[in-house]
Amino acid sequence: MDQSPKQYTLPLIQEPDFTSYSYFVSQSNKAAYQLVELWPEWPFMRYVIVGPTGHGKTHLGHILRDLTQGVFINAIDIIADVLEAIKPKETYIVDDIHLVQQPALLFHFYNLTLENECNVVYLSGMAPGQYDMGLPDLNSRFRSLAVIELPQPDDDLCRAIVRKVFLDLHISIADEVVEYMVVHMSRSLTDIHHNIQVLNQRSMEMKRNITIPFIKSLDDMR
């Protein structure tokens, strides 16, 4: 008789959960999370949080936005209207600055937020100095900022996220399945969510429990 925990599968959840409730802190992201813990007593008025795609930068940015009641914006969305709307002492979180397409506008944003004594957290896939931002003065300014690295999630963080996502889907999962996923699958937080969504969908379609043999039988895991 199959002794695996009974599982209740629900339709896929597509919208990312960027709340503080779903953000787990471990040794790998503790330094970056200190921005949340130290607010409003930040040592500096502007930071760059650096890490590869899927390592939680955007999630942390939304938490900071909610905490500071600030503004979250993507670098490619900085246009003249945004510059005109800058308010004194506002907090801004700017995502994907390494993908900026109009460096002159980002340069003006940088200077205007400095003049208005705004707190700004920039999120980037690469550290300043590792790529050309399009303007020498822009490169120089960003290289002077405090940089916080967001490294690859460690085992504890991956384990907690796997359990949390399954719990949100109301799926009871065996510990050995969690350990298998932590050891054998991508540590990108985006990929973890993708893999669990795929497992949920396939288990519904095939009417099978999520076990290690079931996971091994699938070819669309990351």
Range(s) for CATH 3.40.50.300 in the chain?
A: 24-149
CA 54 to chain centre: 6
> What is the number of other CB atoms lying within 10 angstroms of the CB of residue 215?
19
Task: Tell me: pLDDT of 10 over 80.
Answer: no
What is the mean pLDDT of the segment spanning 108-123?
98
pLDDT band at 8 (very low <50, low <70, confident <90, very high): very low
Q: How confident is the model at residue 167 (pLDDT cuts 50, 70, 90)?
A: confident
Q: Virtual CA dihedral for 205, 165, 66, 71, nearest 10 degrees?
A: -50
Nearest to 86 by CA among 73, 76, 96: 73
**Cβ atoms of 126 and 91 closer than 8 Å:** no
pLDDT at 218: 86
Q: What is the mean pLDDT of residues 3-29?
A: 68
Q: From edge to edge, which strands make up the β-sheet containing 91-95?
A: 71-74, 91-95, 119-124, 46-50, 146-149
Q: Which CATH architecture has domain 24-149?
A: 3-Layer(aba) Sandwich (3.40)
pLDDT at 13: 47
List the single range of 9-13, 64-68, 83-87, 96-100 with lowest mean pLDDT. Answer: 9-13
Task: Give the pLDDT confidence score for residue 52 in this predicted structure.
Answer: 84
CATH (one of 3.40.50, 1.10.860, 1.10.8, 1.10.10) for 154-216: 1.10.8
* Alpha-carbon span 222 to 218, nearest angstrom: 10
Q: pLDDT value at position 168? A: 82
Q: What is the pTM of this model?
A: 0.81
Mean pLDDT, the chain, whole residue set: 89
Distances (CA, A) of 78 to 10, 25, 100, 105, 143: 38, 30, 9, 7, 20
Quote the pLDDT of residue 15: 64
pLDDT tier for residue 117 given thresholds of 50, 70 and 90: very high
Kindly state the tokens that stand for 197.
Answer: 């969504």
Q: Which tokens hold the place of 185?
A: 């699958």
Portions of the chain given CATH number 1.10.8: 154-216
d(Cα 6, Cα 109) in Å, to the nearest integer?
53
- The two tokens of residue 219 are 């070819």
| Confidence band of 124 (pLDDT split at 50, 70, 90) | very high
Residue 44 has pLDDT above 60, yes or no: yes
Whether residue 123 is predicted with pLDDT greater than 90 in this model: the reply is yes
Is the pLDDT confidence value at 51 over 60? yes
Tokens read off for 7: 């599982």
What's the confidence (pLDDT) of residue 222? 75
* Cα separation, 56 vs 7, whole angstroms: 28
More confident of the two residues 8 and 17: 17
pLDDT on residue 12: 47
